[in-house]
Structure 1
Amino acid sequence: MLHTMTTDFGKRLKEARKHAGLTQQQLAKKVGIGQSTIAELERTGNGSSHVSTMAVTMRVSALWLEKGAGDMLAGINKQPIDLENNPDYPAIKRVKFKLSAGASGFGVEYQDDEGNPLVFRRDWYERNGYDPDKLLAVYVANGSMEPGLYDGDTVVVNTEQVEPKDGRVFAVNYEGEMVVKRMVRDEGRWWLSSDNPDQSRYPRKACHDGVHMIGEVVHKQSERI
């Protein structure tokens, strides 16, 4: 049975969700975002960075869901997909970093919460040159990086990339605390800079010997549209 092309992403999302027998809340929990985000996507028809994960969860074609191309069920295996053990969809675990002031290494504590793990198609890793085993997901803890990152957003950290890059965002061990900051090269040294325009509340901080890079932020997931 062929499914007619729907030009609006929100309508396709709703059709796929109904096909999967999921409520907005159930889909949101499986994807790791808020129910309000699903409702907003269905209402506005805006695209989403969660398309691949939603397509796998609802067992529909990612190409159809994102662009309306082809059949909704094109190439879909009728058997249930084990996301955590499927080599075509390497998973990224959410963690809390265990840090010590002045120490370059770190430990991790895995987070057993709904929406864990994050799932991406293998071609996403290959296209970007990422090693799935080197990627970890963490929650953003405050508003210092607004409007790009909000408190409660999830970011994926590539722990293989620890060399600072001017203008790029990194997770950093700053005196025993994990912070997410933009690296800025100025006055011959590296600075940890916040994107929040309230610089009196979030002033930039100079890097020193006790500051260690955890990894570069390479992806974000947010409930903000």
Structure 2
Amino acid sequence: MGTSFAERVKERRTELALSQSALAKRAKVSQGTIAQIELGLSQGSGKIVDLALALGVSPEWLLYGKNPPHTLTQSPHPSHSDFITHTNSDMGLKKTFCLSKYWDCDYLDFIKANDESMSPTITIFDDVIFNRLETNKTENGIFVIKRTSGTIIIRRLILDSQRWLYRSDNLDKTRYSDVFENVGDEILGKVIWRGGGNSFN
């Protein structure tokens, strides 16, 4: 792991197989700014949050090396020229559509909803696509979460009195209760698509 801000930016950019210009486009800065940051000539202080989001890490990790991101691997998408699909799913997305949304096709993953906890937003057996680069918690965002028990859930994140709450959209709270985040829970990615016709971006 890099020991400086500049090293961490370059390390993460390389891990994501991004060029300096590609990262610059994601972070809404110039390629020259990224070059200066990686040479240690700039701390990019006004763009820390945008840079962190572009790299899929926390601002604390970029600045201080705290809360390191998990290592990313590319998703096992079968090779199709115009679509991205997954071995565990019957659906696919056009690559041109993903590019129009600035989604990196290599880091989109697929999961099936296994219950009605997010109904009516997401119903049982829906194909769900999530972006593994988007792991920073956002209010009202829907995320795929791996609990400390190993269980994987899909829930809406709500900030409640300085704590994150995993909210179920299902109104039957006796079956699908809202629960608070546990230390050790891992955000796997933000849900961006459900089925074939509902975007969350």
TM-score category, normalised to shorter length: 0.5 to 0.7
The Cα of 1:222 is off from its aligned counterpart by: 6.2
Confirm or deny: 8 A CA contact 1:92 1:135 kept in the other structure.
no
State how far apart, in whole Å, the 1-side matches of 2:107 and 2:135 are: 11
- The corresponding residue for 1:168 is 141
- In the alignment, structure 1 segments of 5+ residues that lack a partner are 1-83, 95-110
- The corresponding residue for 2:106 is 133
Opposite residue 117 of structure 2, the aligned amino acid is S
Identity among equivalent positions (%) equals 20
Confirm or deny: 8 A CA contact 2:84 2:95 kept in the other structure.
no
State how far apart, in whole Å, the 1-side matches of 2:134 and 2:178 are: 22
The Cα of 1:90 is off from its aligned counterpart by: 3.5
RMSD: 2.1
Confirm or deny: 8 A CA contact 1:90 1:132 kept in the other structure.
no
**Deviations 1:160-214, CA, capped at 9 Å, x for gaps:** 1111111010000012011000011111111100000011221111112121100
- The corresponding residue for 2:175 is 201
State how far apart, in whole Å, the 1-side matches of 2:92 and 2:167 are: 30
The Cα of 1:148 is off from its aligned counterpart by: 1.0
- The corresponding residue for 2:123 is 150
Confirm or deny: 8 A CA contact 2:135 2:189 kept in the other structure.
yes
The Cα of 1:86 is off from its aligned counterpart by: 4.0
- The corresponding residue for 2:86 is 93
State how far apart, in whole Å, the 1-side matches of 2:109 and 2:121 are: 19
State how far apart, in whole Å, the 2-side matches of 1:141 and 1:153 are: 8
Q: Does 1:178 find its partner at 2:152? A: yes
The Cα of 1:92 is off from its aligned counterpart by: 2.7
> Which structure would you say has the larger RCO, counting Cα contacts within 8 Å and 6 or more residues apart?
1
Q: Does 1:191 find its partner at 2:184? A: no
Q: For this pair of structures, how many residues does the alignment match?
A: 120
Pick closer, same or farther for the CA change 1:125–1:212 going to 2, 3 Å: same
- In the alignment, structure 2 segments of 5+ residues that lack a partner are 1-77
The Cα of 1:85 is off from its aligned counterpart by: 3.5
The Cα of 1:150 is off from its aligned counterpart by: 0.9
State how far apart, in whole Å, the 2-side matches of 1:207 and 1:200 are: 19
Q: Secondary structure at the match of 1:157?
A: strand
State how far apart, in whole Å, the 2-side matches of 1:92 and 1:158 are: 14
State how far apart, in whole Å, the 2-side matches of 1:148 and 1:176 are: 24
**Deviations 1:61-115, CA, capped at 9 Å, x for gaps:** xxxxxxxxxxxxxxxxxxxxxxx5443x141314xxxxxxxxxxxxxxxx3x7x2
